[in-house]
C-alpha cells in the first residue's frame, strides 16, 4: 500500500546569557555562581549541554484521535516524546521523524491546515548541578513552536478552492412527492460538499430513487435543534465541472384544510473558506385533493316479502318486535386515494312511509364518539322499548384515508378526519316507512 509521507524536522538551539562579570564567594565557602557559569556558560566555555523534554503533536486542531489525518510512521500515533540534549552556544540540534497522511477515505476535512506543534521544557533534574542551582528559560521565548502543512488540493496555484455551487429542483407528479435535484459546481473543488434539504413538517423523507440515469447519492435524515433535514453527500471534493442529478422521495401527511401548499428549501454547503454555499432554493408545491371514493352496502335480510305471512301487529306496540321484523343495512365507504380529504358526508334515505302507512320504523339509535346523527322525522314517536331481539348495530367509522374502508350508518360528516378509529352504536328496528337520516361528525 502506497502512503503519502513527509518529514517533520525539529531543532533546538540554546545559549546562556546574562551572567555578571564578577561574583563573590558565599560565606559558607561553596563555589561562587561565577564558577558554576564558567562550567556551562557563554562567558568561558561551550562544552556543556542542556537536556530538554520534547513533545510533538500532529494535527493539533483535531481534538479526537479518530479524526487525526496524519500519524507518525514508526508508531502509528499522533504524539511523540523524547529527551534531547542541546549543546550550549553551538549549532542547533536537529532530528527528523517521518509522518504519513491517512487514506483520504478515512477523513473528510481536507481544507483545514495540518498543524504540527513542538512543545519543549528543560529537564530540570538533569540541568541542576551539584549545588542545586537550576537554569531558567528566557520568559520571552515562546513555550512551543507551531508549523502548518496543507493538503495539496485541485484549487489552482493559490491552493484555495473557490467553488461556484448551483442548485435547481423540479417536482414530480407522484402521490409520494419526488424532488428532482440538479446540483452543479462550476468553480474549483468544493470539499465536504453536502446537499441540505429542509422539508416541511408534513413531509417525511422515504429514500433516494435509484436509476441508471441518476447519480448514486447517499442521503441521511438528521435532526438538529428541532429542525429536521436531509443531508446528502455530494463528494469530497466535489470537483469543478461536476453535475449531480438525483431524485429524492417524500411522503406527505397530516394535511389540514389550511394546507394548500408545501415548501421545500434546499442548499449546497461545503467547508471551503470562500464561496462555501450555494444560494438557497425553494420549491413550493400546490396541493389538490384527488380521491376515488366508492360506496357499497349490504342488507340483512337481503329481501323482505310483504305482506308478511301470519304476522299481526300489536296495538299499541310495546317493543320493537311488535312493529315488525328488523332489517339491518350496512354501508361501507372506501377511499382509494391517492389523497386524504378532511370532510365526508353520507346521506341515507329510507322508505319511511308507504301509502300513508308505516314502512320502515326506527325505534332508537345511540352514538358513541364525536358523531352526531340527525333525521328529518322524529325517532321512535311511539316510544316502544328496544328488547334483545331488536336491531343492534356496531357502527365503526374510520377516517377517510387512502384505501381505508369506512363503515357507517346514517350520514357521518367530518370537520377534520385524522388518523384513528371511532365507534358509533345504534339500536334500530325497522318497519315500513320512508324518510332521511343524517349523521354529522364534529
User: Among 172-186, 286-300, 403-417, where is mean pLDDT lowest?
Assistant: 403-417
- Fold type of domain 293-441: Immunoglobulin-like (2.60.40)
Give pLDDT, residue 276.
92
Give pLDDT, residue 220.
93
User: Among 10-24, 70-84, 112-126, where is mean pLDDT lowest?
Assistant: 10-24
SS (H, E, C) the chain: CCCEEEEEEEEECECCCCCCCCCCCCCCCCCCHHHHHHHCCCCCCCCCEEEEEEEEEECCCCCCHHHCCEEECCCCCCEEEEEEEEEECCCCEEEEEEEEECCHHHCCCCCCCEEEEEEEEECHHHHCCCCCCCCCCCCCCCCEEEEEECCCCCCCCCCCCCCCEEEEEEECCCCCCEEEEEEEECCCCECCEEEEEECCCCEEEEEECCCCCCCCCEEEEEEECCEEEEEEEEECCECCCCEEEEEEEEEECCCCCCCCEEEEEEEEECCCCCCCECCCEEEEEECCCCEEEEEEEEEECCCCCCCCCCCCCCCCCCEHHHCCCCCEEEEEEEEEEECCCCCCECEEEEEEEECCEECCCCCCCCCCCCEEEEECCCCCCCCCECCCCCEEEEEEEECCCCCEEEEECCCCEECCCCCCEEEEEEEECCCCEEEEEEEEEC
Highest mean pLDDT among 106-115, 133-142, 416-425 belongs to 106-115
- 45 pLDDT band, cuts 50/70/90, is very low
Give per-residue pLDDT as tens, 360-376: 777 766 665 556 677 77
Asked if pLDDT for residue 34 goes beyond 70, the answer is no
CATH C-level class of 4-149: mainly beta
pTM: 0.53
Average pLDDT over residues 60-76: 85
Q: What percent of the chain is predicted at pLDDT more than 70?
A: 69
Task: State the chain's mean pLDDT as an integer.
Answer: 72
Asked if pLDDT for residue 348 goes beyond 80, the answer is no
Q: What percent of the chain is predicted at pLDDT more than 90?
A: 16
The CA-to-CA distance between both ends of the chain, in Å, stands at 71
Give pLDDT, residue 205.
92
Cβ–Cβ under 8 Å, residues 152 and 161: no
Residue 278, burial from CB neighbour count under 10 angstroms (0-12, 13-18, 19+): buried
**b vs e for 203-224, b when ≥16 Cβ sit within 10 Å of the residue's Cβ?**
bebeebbeeeeebebebeeeee
Of 3.20.20.70, 3.40.50.300, 2.60.40.1510, 3.40.50.620, the CATH number of 165-286 is 2.60.40.1510
User: Among 7-16, 123-132, 142-151, 422-431, where is mean pLDDT lowest?
Assistant: 422-431
Nearest to 339 by CA among 287, 389, 383, 295: 287
Asked if pLDDT for residue 233 goes beyond 90, the answer is yes
- 440 pLDDT band, cuts 50/70/90, is very low
Cα separation, 185 vs 194, in Å, equals: 12
Residue 442, burial from CB neighbour count under 10 angstroms (0-12, 13-18, 19+): exposed
Give per-residue pLDDT as tens, 268-322: 999 998 899 999 999 888 777 667 788 888 887 888 777 777 777 778 888 877 7
Average pLDDT over residues 113-142: 77
Cα separation, 185 vs 187, in Å, equals: 6
Asked if pLDDT for residue 259 goes beyond 80, the answer is no
- Better-scored residue on pLDDT, 133 or 225: 225
- Sorted by where each begins, the domain ranges of the chain are 4-149, 165-286, 293-441
Asked if pLDDT for residue 80 goes beyond 90, the answer is yes
Asked if pLDDT for residue 431 goes beyond 80, the answer is no
C-alpha grid cell, residue 15: 545559549
Cα separation, 181 vs 281, in Å, equals: 11
Give pLDDT, residue 194.
94
Amino acid at each position: 500500500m502506497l502512503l503519502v509521507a513527509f518529514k517533520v524536522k525539529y531543532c533546538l538551539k540554546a545559549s546562556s546569557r546574562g551572567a555578571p562579570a564578577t561574583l563573590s564567594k558565599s560565606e559558607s565557602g561553596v563555589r561562587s555562581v561565577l564558577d558554576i557559569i564558567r562550567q556551562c556558560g557563554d562567558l568561558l566555555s561551550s562544552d556543556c549541554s542542556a537536556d530538554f523534554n520534547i513533545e510533538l503533536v500532529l494535527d493539533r486542531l483535531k481534538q479526537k484521535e479518530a479524526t487525526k489525518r496524519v500519524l507518525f510512521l514508526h508508531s502509528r500515533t499522533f504524539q511523540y516524546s523524547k529527551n534531547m540534549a542541546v549543546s550550549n552556544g553551538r549549532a542547533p540540534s536537529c532530528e527528523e521523524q517521518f509522518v504519513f497522511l491517512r487514506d483520504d477515505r478515512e477523513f473528510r476535512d481536507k481544507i483545514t491546515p495540518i498543524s504540527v506543534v513542538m512543545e519543549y521544557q528543560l529537564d530540570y533534574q538533569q540541568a541542576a548541578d551539584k549545588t542545586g542551582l537550576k537554569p531558567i528559560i528566557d520568559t520571552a521565548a515562546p513555550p512551543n513552536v507551531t508549523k502548518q502543512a496543507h493538503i495539496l488540493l485541485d484549487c489552482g496555484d493559490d491552493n484555495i478552492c473557490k467553488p461556484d455551487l448551483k442548485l435547481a429542483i423540479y417536482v414530480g407528479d407522484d402521490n409520494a412527492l419526488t424532488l428532482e435535484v440538479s446540483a452543479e459546481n462550476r468553480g474549483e473543488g468544493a470539499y465536504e460538499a453536502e446537499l441540505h434539504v429542509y422539508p416541511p413538517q408534513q413531509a417525511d423523507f422515504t429514500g433516494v430513487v435509484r436509476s441508471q440515469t441518476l447519480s448514486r447519492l447517499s442521503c441521511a435524515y438528521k435532526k438538529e435543534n428541532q429542525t429536521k433535514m436531509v443531508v446528502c453527500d455530494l463528494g469530497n471534493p466535489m470537483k469543478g465541472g461536476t453535475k449531480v442529478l438525483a431524485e429524492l422521495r417524500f411522503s406527505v401527511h397530516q394535511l389540514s384544510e389550511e394546507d394548500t401548499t408545501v415548501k421545500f428549501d434546499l442548499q449546497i454547503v461545503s467547508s471551503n473558506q470562500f464561496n462555501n454555499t450555494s444560494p438557497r432554493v425553494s420549491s413550493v408545491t400546490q396541493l389538490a385533493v384527488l380521491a376515488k371514493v366508492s360506496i357499497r352496502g349490504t342488507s340483512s335480510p337481503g329481501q323482505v316479502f310483504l305482506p308478511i305471512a301470519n304476522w299481526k301487529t300489536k296495538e299499541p306496540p310495546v317493543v320493537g318486535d311488535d312493529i315488525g321484523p328488523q332489517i339491518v343495512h350496512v354501508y361501507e365507504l372506501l377511499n382509494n386515494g391517492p389523497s386524504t380529504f378532511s370532510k365526508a358526508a353520507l346521506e341515507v334515505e329510507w322508505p319511511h312511509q308507504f301509502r300513508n302507512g308505516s314502512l320502515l320504523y326506527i325505534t332508537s339509535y345511540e352514538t358513541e364518539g364525536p358523531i352526531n346523527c340527525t333525521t328529518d322525522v322524529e325517532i321512535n314517536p311511539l316510544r316502544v322499548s328496544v328488547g334483545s331481539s331488536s336491531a343492534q348495530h356496531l357502527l365503526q367509522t374510520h377516517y377517510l384515508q387512502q384505501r381505508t374502508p369506512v363503515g357507517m350508518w346514517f350520514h357521518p360528516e367530518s370537520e377534520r378526519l385524522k388518523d384513528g378509529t371511532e365507534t358509533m352504536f345504534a339500536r334500530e328496528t325497522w318497519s315500513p316507512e320512508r324518510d332521511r337520516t343524517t349523521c354529522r361528525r364534529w
